[in-house]
Amino acid sequence: MLAWTHEPMDYSQVATRVETLNNRFPGLQTGSLGRSLLGKELFTLYFPAHAVPDPHAPLLLLTAAFHGMEWITSTLLLAFAENLCVRLEQGSITLKCPVLMVPCVNPDGVGIQIHGPKAAGRFSHLIYHACGGDTRRWQANARGVDLNHNFDAHWKTLRRMEQKAGIHGPAATQFGGCFPHSEPETRHLVHFCRTHPVGMAAAFHSQGEEIYYQFGDCLPPRSMEIAKRLADASGYTLADPDGLASFGGFKDWFLQEFQRPAFTIEVGKGKNPLPVDDFPGIYQRIEPLCYALLDAC
Ligand SMILES: [Zn+2]
């Protein structure tokens, strides 16, 4: 399983991995939420629950790689997908709820971080302008919008904070866009959540070994209890965001819109992008956390 973890997980690697899983496991359904700004698929992996034939049964949504430097989270989610496929095939686990995984929410940003401005195609001039051509710290999408600042969760407050911090337009990180949900990647995720019965959501980021589980006063009844179980499973710490990480994120929007549990999980520890060699150690902590999420749904 670890043979394919020695390179950064870019779009073509995600696509290959999704196809391999699709061919190997007949029960798995692969698809796409839609396309990124540059036309890349936001691949999905859907695991139906055996015990719940009801199409309206709440599903668990697992998402990764919102940020260019955080491609290791795609590797983690795809590795977990494979592990889950194997266990389902062996009959050693029963899914209580359907699971949908989006292993890479920001394929354009990941490509720019790994391959440089040329990966942005017709937007490459914008990338040069935003970061002088050095994309090693690139987090945003191909339009220089930080997707996890683009959700409609106190977006205007966040915009004012960004401006105070000197961020006025497209940037490598922390520019929330011209209006909430301005980006196709954000809109596809929002549309999916509004048109499907998502009971609980988790977003994998790096780094910090921390779990975020609330948004302001918004704390659904089971959130705290589930967050504690995730912390027990992984050894990660429960945390409260501050500063520019406080608003505009996917889990913030999900909590505010649906009043259902949502978590940001900051995997690993060190400086982004975390080296690929950190993968096995991080995976050891994340696999039990993912099974704890499945168990809680
Ligand atoms: Zn992130």
Cα(105) to ligand 1 centroid in Å equals 11
Cα(27) to ligand 1 centroid in Å equals 31
Cα(59) to ligand 1 centroid in Å equals 23
Cα(203) to ligand 1 centroid in Å equals 9
CATH of the domain at 250: 3.40.630.10
Cα(172) to ligand 1 centroid in Å equals 12
- pLDDT band at residue 229 using 50, 70 and 90 as cut-offs: very high
Q: How many domains does the chain have?
A: 1
Cα(70) to ligand 1 centroid in Å equals 6
Beta-carbon contacts of 172 under 8 Å, excluding residues fewer than 6 positions away, are 68, 130, 131, 135, 137, 138, 139, 140, 144
Cα(99) to ligand 1 centroid in Å equals 22
Query: Residue 191: inside a domain, yes or no?
Result: yes
Separation CA 16–CA 11 (nearest Å): 9
Question: Quick check: 50 pLDDT over 80?
Answer: no
Query: Residue 130: inside a domain, yes or no?
Result: no
Cα(66) to ligand 1 centroid in Å equals 6
Question: Quick check: 52 pLDDT over 70?
Answer: no
Which phi and psi angles does 59 have, rounded to 5°?
-110, 160
Cα(205) to ligand 1 centroid in Å equals 4
Query: Residue 14: inside a domain, yes or no?
Result: yes
Query: Residue 247: inside a domain, yes or no?
Result: yes
pTM over 0.95, yes/no:
yes
Cα(217) to ligand 1 centroid in Å equals 22
- pLDDT band at residue 4 using 50, 70 and 90 as cut-offs: low
Query: Residue 234: inside a domain, yes or no?
Result: yes
Query: Residue 160: inside a domain, yes or no?
Result: no
Beta-carbon contacts of 173 under 8 Å, excluding residues fewer than 6 positions away, are 67, 137, 138, 139, 140, 146
Cα(68) to ligand 1 centroid in Å equals 8
Query: Residue 206: inside a domain, yes or no?
Result: yes
% of the chain exceeding 90 in pLDDT: 91
Query: Residue 128: inside a domain, yes or no?
Result: no
Mean pLDDT (the chain) is 94
Instruction: Report pLDDT for 53.
Output: 62
Domain that holds residue 42: 2-117+184-296
Mean pLDDT for 232-250 is: 88
